[in-house]
Protein backbone atom coordinates (compact mmCIF):
# COMPACT_ATOMS: atom_id res chain seq x y z
CA UNK A 1 0.00 0.00 0.00
CA UNK A 2 1.16 3.52 -0.83
CA UNK A 3 1.92 5.42 2.38
CA UNK A 4 1.22 8.76 0.66
CA UNK A 5 -2.41 7.88 -0.10
CA UNK A 6 -5.41 8.04 2.19
CA UNK A 7 -7.17 4.78 3.03
CA UNK A 8 -10.70 3.94 1.90
CA UNK A 9 -12.82 1.03 3.15
CA UNK A 10 -16.01 -0.40 1.70
CA UNK A 11 -17.83 -3.69 1.33
CA UNK A 12 -21.00 -5.47 0.29
CA UNK A 13 -23.01 -8.20 1.95
CA UNK A 14 -22.90 -11.72 0.54
CA UNK A 15 -26.67 -12.05 0.52
CA UNK A 16 -29.13 -11.97 -2.34
CA UNK A 17 -28.37 -11.27 -5.97
CA UNK A 18 -26.70 -7.95 -6.71
CA UNK A 19 -28.70 -5.54 -8.81
CA UNK A 20 -28.05 -3.00 -11.50
CA UNK A 21 -28.37 -0.40 -8.72
CA UNK A 22 -25.50 -1.98 -6.76
CA UNK A 23 -23.33 -1.90 -9.88
CA UNK A 24 -24.11 1.58 -11.21
CA UNK A 25 -24.46 3.15 -7.77
CA UNK A 26 -21.32 1.76 -6.13
CA UNK A 27 -19.29 -1.07 -7.58
CA UNK A 28 -18.48 0.54 -10.91
CA UNK A 29 -17.11 3.60 -9.12
CA UNK A 30 -14.87 1.51 -6.84
CA UNK A 31 -12.71 0.60 -9.81
CA UNK A 32 -11.35 4.13 -10.23
CA UNK A 33 -10.72 4.81 -6.55
CA UNK A 34 -7.50 2.78 -6.28
CA UNK A 35 -5.69 5.39 -8.36
CA UNK A 36 -6.24 7.91 -5.57
CA UNK A 37 -6.63 5.79 -2.41
CA UNK A 38 -5.42 2.64 -0.67
CA UNK A 39 -8.63 0.62 -0.94
CA UNK A 40 -9.87 -2.28 1.17
CA UNK A 41 -12.87 -3.99 -0.40
CA UNK A 42 -14.49 -6.55 1.85
CA UNK A 43 -17.05 -9.27 1.29
CA UNK A 44 -18.91 -8.71 4.56
CA UNK A 45 -20.08 -12.25 5.22
CA UNK A 46 -20.11 -11.87 9.02
CA UNK A 47 -22.76 -9.18 8.76
CA UNK A 48 -24.82 -11.52 6.60
CA UNK A 49 -25.66 -13.98 9.36
CA UNK A 50 -27.78 -11.55 11.38
CA UNK A 51 -30.46 -13.09 9.15
CA UNK A 52 -30.55 -16.90 8.91
CA UNK A 53 -28.57 -18.15 5.92
CA UNK A 54 -28.23 -21.51 4.21
CA UNK A 55 -24.52 -22.31 4.82
CA UNK A 56 -23.79 -23.71 1.35
CA UNK A 57 -25.63 -20.82 -0.29
CA UNK A 58 -23.76 -18.23 1.79
CA UNK A 59 -20.39 -19.69 0.76
CA UNK A 60 -21.51 -19.74 -2.85
CA UNK A 61 -22.71 -16.15 -2.77
CA UNK A 62 -19.59 -14.91 -0.98
CA UNK A 63 -17.40 -16.39 -3.71
CA UNK A 64 -19.70 -15.03 -6.40
CA UNK A 65 -19.48 -11.55 -4.88
CA UNK A 66 -15.70 -11.63 -4.71
CA UNK A 67 -15.68 -12.82 -8.33
CA UNK A 68 -17.92 -9.89 -9.22
CA UNK A 69 -15.47 -7.45 -7.61
CA UNK A 70 -12.77 -8.79 -9.93
CA UNK A 71 -15.03 -8.93 -12.99
CA UNK A 72 -15.99 -5.29 -12.47
CA UNK A 73 -12.31 -4.41 -12.86
CA UNK A 74 -11.06 -4.07 -9.28
CA UNK A 75 -7.36 -4.98 -9.43
CA UNK A 76 -6.34 -7.29 -6.54
CA UNK A 77 -2.76 -6.03 -6.83
CA UNK A 78 -3.75 -2.39 -6.28
CA UNK A 79 -6.59 -3.13 -3.84
CA UNK A 80 -7.05 -5.49 -0.90
CA UNK A 81 -10.00 -7.78 -1.65
CA UNK A 82 -10.92 -10.25 1.07
CA UNK A 83 -13.57 -12.08 3.09
CA UNK A 84 -14.46 -10.47 6.41
CA UNK A 85 -14.68 -13.91 8.08
CA UNK A 86 -11.07 -14.67 7.10
CA UNK A 87 -9.75 -11.85 9.32
CA UNK A 88 -10.59 -12.63 12.95
CA UNK A 89 -9.58 -9.12 14.04
CA UNK A 90 -13.01 -7.89 12.86
CA UNK A 91 -14.81 -9.92 15.52
CA UNK A 92 -12.14 -9.31 18.19
CA UNK A 93 -12.23 -5.54 17.80
CA UNK A 94 -16.03 -5.56 17.63
CA UNK A 95 -16.19 -7.09 21.13
CA UNK A 96 -13.91 -4.41 22.55
CA UNK A 97 -15.86 -1.63 20.84
CA UNK A 98 -19.10 -3.08 22.19
CA UNK A 99 -17.78 -2.08 25.60
CA UNK A 100 -17.44 1.53 24.42
CA UNK A 101 -20.87 1.77 22.77
CA UNK A 102 -24.02 2.79 24.61
CA UNK A 103 -27.33 0.96 24.40
CA UNK A 104 -29.14 4.20 23.64
CA UNK A 105 -26.95 4.79 20.59
CA UNK A 106 -27.80 1.38 19.17
CA UNK A 107 -31.49 1.72 19.96
CA UNK A 108 -31.63 4.84 17.79
CA UNK A 109 -30.41 3.01 14.68
CA UNK A 110 -33.23 3.13 12.12
CA UNK A 111 -31.86 0.14 10.22
CA UNK A 112 -32.19 -2.02 13.34
CA UNK A 113 -35.81 -0.96 13.69
CA UNK A 114 -36.49 -1.73 10.02
CA UNK A 115 -34.81 -5.15 10.08
CA UNK A 116 -36.38 -6.08 13.41
CA UNK A 117 -39.79 -5.36 11.88
CA UNK A 118 -39.00 -7.57 8.87
CA UNK A 119 -37.53 -10.41 10.95
CA UNK A 120 -39.68 -10.33 14.08
CA UNK A 121 -39.02 -14.03 14.72
CA UNK A 122 -35.23 -13.48 14.85
CA UNK A 123 -34.40 -10.19 16.60
CA UNK A 124 -30.94 -11.32 17.69
CA UNK A 125 -28.15 -9.50 19.49
CA UNK A 126 -26.07 -9.45 16.31
CA UNK A 127 -28.78 -7.46 14.56
CA UNK A 128 -28.69 -4.97 17.45
CA UNK A 129 -24.88 -4.64 17.58
CA UNK A 130 -24.45 -4.69 13.79
CA UNK A 131 -23.22 -1.06 13.77
CA UNK A 132 -20.40 -1.95 16.20
CA UNK A 133 -19.08 -4.64 13.86
CA UNK A 134 -19.32 -2.12 11.04
CA UNK A 135 -17.31 0.33 13.16
CA UNK A 136 -14.68 -2.37 13.72
CA UNK A 137 -14.55 -3.02 9.96
CA UNK A 138 -13.72 0.62 9.30
CA UNK A 139 -11.47 1.40 12.27
CA UNK A 140 -9.30 -1.72 11.89
CA UNK A 141 -7.83 -0.29 8.71
CA UNK A 142 -7.55 3.27 10.00
CA UNK A 143 -9.81 4.27 7.12
CA UNK A 144 -9.86 7.95 6.28
CA UNK A 145 -12.84 7.61 3.99
CA UNK A 146 -15.94 5.42 3.67
CA UNK A 147 -18.32 5.62 0.69
CA UNK A 148 -21.81 5.62 2.21
CA UNK A 149 -25.35 6.16 1.05
CA UNK A 150 -27.94 8.04 3.07
CA UNK A 151 -29.17 4.77 4.61
CA UNK A 152 -25.69 4.05 6.02
CA UNK A 153 -24.82 7.55 7.23
CA UNK A 154 -26.10 6.78 10.74
CA UNK A 155 -23.66 3.89 10.97
CA UNK A 156 -20.73 6.08 9.98
CA UNK A 157 -21.77 8.65 12.57
CA UNK A 158 -21.80 6.06 15.36
CA UNK A 159 -18.42 4.78 14.14
CA UNK A 160 -17.04 8.29 14.52
CA UNK A 161 -18.61 8.61 17.99
CA UNK A 162 -17.09 5.30 19.15
CA UNK A 163 -13.65 6.20 17.77
CA UNK A 164 -13.69 9.65 19.36
CA UNK A 165 -14.82 8.19 22.69
CA UNK A 166 -12.00 5.60 22.64
CA UNK A 167 -9.43 8.21 21.59
CA UNK A 168 -10.62 10.51 24.36
CA UNK A 169 -9.80 7.84 26.93
CA UNK A 170 -6.65 6.25 25.46
CA UNK A 171 -5.12 8.82 23.15
CA UNK A 172 -4.74 8.93 19.38
CA UNK A 173 -5.55 5.31 18.48
CA UNK A 174 -8.12 5.45 15.69
CA UNK A 175 -8.33 7.58 12.57
CA UNK A 176 -11.71 9.36 12.57
CA UNK A 177 -13.32 8.39 9.24
CA UNK A 178 -15.11 10.78 6.95
CA UNK A 179 -17.84 10.07 4.42
CA UNK A 180 -16.42 9.73 0.93
CA UNK A 181 -17.85 12.48 -1.23
CA UNK A 182 -16.69 11.96 -4.78
CA UNK A 183 -18.40 11.38 -8.06
CA UNK A 184 -21.80 10.22 -6.92
CA UNK A 185 -23.04 6.94 -8.30
CA UNK A 186 -26.43 6.74 -9.91
CA UNK A 187 -29.30 6.20 -7.50
CA UNK A 188 -31.33 3.50 -9.21
CA UNK A 189 -34.92 2.99 -8.12
CA UNK A 190 -37.30 0.04 -8.31
CA UNK A 191 -38.86 -0.57 -11.73
CA UNK A 192 -42.20 -1.33 -10.06
CA UNK A 193 -42.15 1.18 -7.19
CA UNK A 194 -39.92 4.04 -8.40
CA UNK A 195 -40.30 5.88 -5.08
CA UNK A 196 -37.98 3.34 -3.40
CA UNK A 197 -34.48 2.08 -4.20
CA UNK A 198 -33.92 -0.98 -6.35
CA UNK A 199 -33.23 -3.77 -3.86
CA UNK A 200 -31.76 -7.26 -4.08
CA UNK A 201 -34.28 -8.34 -1.42
CA UNK A 202 -37.38 -7.08 -3.26
CA UNK A 203 -40.04 -9.81 -3.36
CA UNK A 204 -41.28 -8.63 -6.77
CA UNK A 205 -38.94 -10.19 -9.38
CA UNK A 206 -39.88 -7.51 -11.91
CA UNK A 207 -38.74 -4.68 -9.64
CA UNK A 208 -35.00 -5.26 -9.98
CA UNK A 209 -32.51 -5.95 -12.74
CA UNK A 210 -30.03 -8.53 -11.45
CA UNK A 211 -26.50 -8.51 -12.79
CA UNK A 212 -26.78 -12.05 -14.15
CA UNK A 213 -30.19 -11.59 -15.78
CA UNK A 214 -30.17 -12.74 -19.40
CA UNK A 215 -31.04 -10.25 -22.19
CA UNK A 216 -34.61 -11.52 -22.63
CA UNK A 217 -35.32 -11.17 -18.91
CA UNK A 218 -33.85 -7.66 -18.85
CA UNK A 219 -35.94 -6.53 -21.81
CA UNK A 220 -39.10 -8.06 -20.33
CA UNK A 221 -38.57 -6.27 -17.01
CA UNK A 222 -38.06 -2.90 -18.68
CA UNK A 223 -41.16 -3.35 -20.82
CA UNK A 224 -43.12 -3.90 -17.58
CA UNK A 225 -41.54 -0.92 -15.81
CA UNK A 226 -44.03 1.42 -14.16
CA UNK A 227 -44.34 4.83 -15.84
CA UNK A 228 -47.37 7.16 -15.91
CA UNK A 229 -50.10 8.47 -18.18
CA UNK A 230 -48.48 11.79 -19.11
CA UNK A 231 -46.77 10.48 -22.22
CA UNK A 232 -43.76 12.82 -22.10
CA UNK A 233 -40.18 11.80 -21.42
CA UNK A 234 -39.22 14.44 -18.87
CA UNK A 235 -36.74 14.37 -15.99
CA UNK A 236 -38.84 15.55 -13.08
CA UNK A 237 -39.95 14.33 -9.67
CA UNK A 238 -43.60 14.27 -10.74
CA UNK A 239 -42.74 11.39 -13.11
CA UNK A 240 -40.65 9.09 -10.88
CA UNK A 241 -40.85 6.08 -13.20
CA UNK A 242 -39.61 7.98 -16.25
CA UNK A 243 -37.05 9.86 -14.16
CA UNK A 244 -35.64 6.52 -12.99
CA UNK A 245 -35.40 5.20 -16.55
CA UNK A 246 -33.60 8.39 -17.58
CA UNK A 247 -31.19 7.94 -14.66
CA UNK A 248 -30.44 4.37 -15.76
CA UNK A 249 -29.94 5.40 -19.39
CA UNK A 250 -27.76 8.34 -18.31
CA UNK A 251 -25.59 6.14 -16.08
CA UNK A 252 -25.09 3.59 -18.85
CA UNK A 253 -24.36 6.09 -21.63
CA UNK A 254 -22.72 8.94 -19.63
CA UNK A 255 -25.26 11.32 -21.15
CA UNK A 256 -26.77 14.11 -19.04
CA UNK A 257 -30.52 13.78 -18.27
CA UNK A 258 -31.30 16.87 -20.35
CA UNK A 259 -29.58 15.28 -23.34
CA UNK A 260 -31.60 12.10 -22.85
CA UNK A 261 -34.78 14.21 -22.79
CA UNK A 262 -33.75 15.82 -26.07
CA UNK A 263 -32.84 12.46 -27.65
CA UNK A 264 -36.25 10.97 -26.91
CA UNK A 265 -38.37 14.09 -27.30
CA UNK A 266 -41.67 13.24 -28.97
CA UNK A 267 -41.07 9.49 -28.78
CA UNK A 268 -43.25 7.03 -26.90
CA UNK A 269 -42.68 5.26 -23.61
CA UNK A 270 -42.52 1.85 -25.29
CA UNK A 271 -39.68 2.92 -27.56
CA UNK A 272 -37.83 4.55 -24.65
CA UNK A 273 -38.15 1.47 -22.43
CA UNK A 274 -36.77 -0.70 -25.21
CA UNK A 275 -33.80 1.65 -25.71
CA UNK A 276 -33.03 1.62 -21.98
CA UNK A 277 -33.24 -2.18 -21.89
CA UNK A 278 -30.92 -2.59 -24.87
CA UNK A 279 -28.40 -0.20 -23.31
CA UNK A 280 -28.40 -2.10 -20.02
CA UNK A 281 -27.93 -5.41 -21.86
CA UNK A 282 -24.90 -3.97 -23.66
CA UNK A 283 -23.40 -2.71 -20.38
CA UNK A 284 -23.91 -5.97 -18.48
CA UNK A 285 -22.78 -8.36 -21.24
CA UNK A 286 -19.01 -7.77 -20.80
CA UNK A 287 -19.40 -8.04 -17.00
CA UNK A 288 -21.32 -11.32 -17.33
CA UNK A 289 -18.74 -12.74 -19.73
CA UNK A 290 -15.92 -11.85 -17.36
CA UNK A 291 -17.73 -13.41 -14.40
CA UNK A 292 -18.13 -16.65 -16.37
CA UNK A 293 -14.46 -16.62 -17.34
CA UNK A 294 -13.21 -15.97 -13.79
CA UNK A 295 -15.55 -18.53 -12.25
CA UNK A 296 -13.80 -21.26 -14.22
CA UNK A 297 -10.33 -20.28 -12.90
CA UNK A 298 -10.45 -21.77 -9.41
CA UNK A 299 -6.69 -21.48 -8.89
CA UNK A 300 -6.65 -17.75 -9.60
CA UNK A 301 -9.65 -17.04 -7.36
CA UNK A 302 -8.17 -19.07 -4.52
CA UNK A 303 -4.91 -17.16 -4.84
CA UNK A 304 -6.72 -13.80 -4.68
CA UNK A 305 -8.66 -14.99 -1.61
CA UNK A 306 -5.53 -16.21 0.19
CA UNK A 307 -3.42 -13.14 -0.62
CA UNK A 308 -6.24 -10.74 0.23
CA UNK A 309 -6.78 -12.33 3.64
CA UNK A 310 -3.06 -12.17 4.43
CA UNK A 311 -2.78 -8.50 3.45
CA UNK A 312 -5.92 -7.53 5.36
CA UNK A 313 -4.88 -9.51 8.43
CA UNK A 314 -1.46 -7.85 8.53
CA UNK A 315 -2.92 -4.34 8.59
CA UNK A 316 -5.84 -5.22 10.88
CA UNK A 317 -3.66 -7.01 13.42
CA UNK A 318 -1.46 -3.94 13.88
CA UNK A 319 -4.49 -1.91 14.94
CA UNK A 320 -5.93 -4.71 17.07
CA UNK A 321 -2.68 -5.23 19.04
CA UNK A 322 -2.49 -1.51 19.75
CA UNK A 323 -6.08 -1.48 21.01
CA UNK A 324 -5.54 -4.58 23.15
CA UNK A 325 -2.53 -2.99 24.78
CA UNK A 326 -4.43 0.25 25.44
CA UNK A 327 -7.30 -1.50 27.24
CA UNK A 328 -4.93 -3.54 29.38
CA UNK A 329 -4.92 -7.04 27.89
CA UNK A 330 -1.76 -9.03 28.76
CA UNK A 331 0.96 -9.04 26.14
CA UNK A 332 1.30 -12.21 24.10
CA UNK A 333 4.38 -14.37 24.72
CA UNK A 334 5.92 -15.27 21.38
Active site residue 255: no
C-alpha dist (Å) from residue 172 to 295, 302, 319, 322, 323:
43, 37, 12, 11, 11
C-alpha dist (Å) from residue 101 to 123, 131, 251:
19, 10, 39
Helix (H, G, I), strand (E, B) or coil at 37: strand
C-alpha dist (Å) from residue 190 to 14, 227, 298:
21, 11, 35
**125 class by beta-carbon count within 10 Å (0-12 exposed, 13-18 middle, 19+ buried):** exposed
SS (H, E, C) 121-160: CCCCHHHHHHHHHHHHHHHHCCCCEECCCHHHHHHHHHHH
Active site residue 200: yes
Active site residue 78: no
Give the integer Cα–Cα distance in Å for 166 and 107: 20
Q: Which of 6, 200, 223, 255 is catalytic?
A: 200
Q: Which of 115, 221, 243, 273 is catalytic?
A: 115
Q: Which of 197, 221, 243, 273 is catalytic?
A: 197
Give the integer Cα–Cα distance in Å for 139 and 121: 32
Q: Which residues pair with 10 in a beta bridge?
A: 41
41 φ, ψ to 5°? -115, 115
User: Active-site residues: which are they?
Assistant: 115, 197, 200
Amino acid sequence: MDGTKKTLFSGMQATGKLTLGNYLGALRNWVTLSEEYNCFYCVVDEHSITVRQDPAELRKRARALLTLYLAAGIDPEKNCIYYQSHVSAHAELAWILNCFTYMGELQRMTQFKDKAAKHADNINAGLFTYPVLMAADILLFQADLVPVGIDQMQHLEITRDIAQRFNGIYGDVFTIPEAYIGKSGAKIMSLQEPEKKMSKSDENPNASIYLLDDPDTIMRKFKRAVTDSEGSICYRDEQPGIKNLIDIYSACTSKAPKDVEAEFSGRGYGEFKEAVGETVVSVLKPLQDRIEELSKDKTYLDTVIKNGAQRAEYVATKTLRKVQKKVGFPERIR
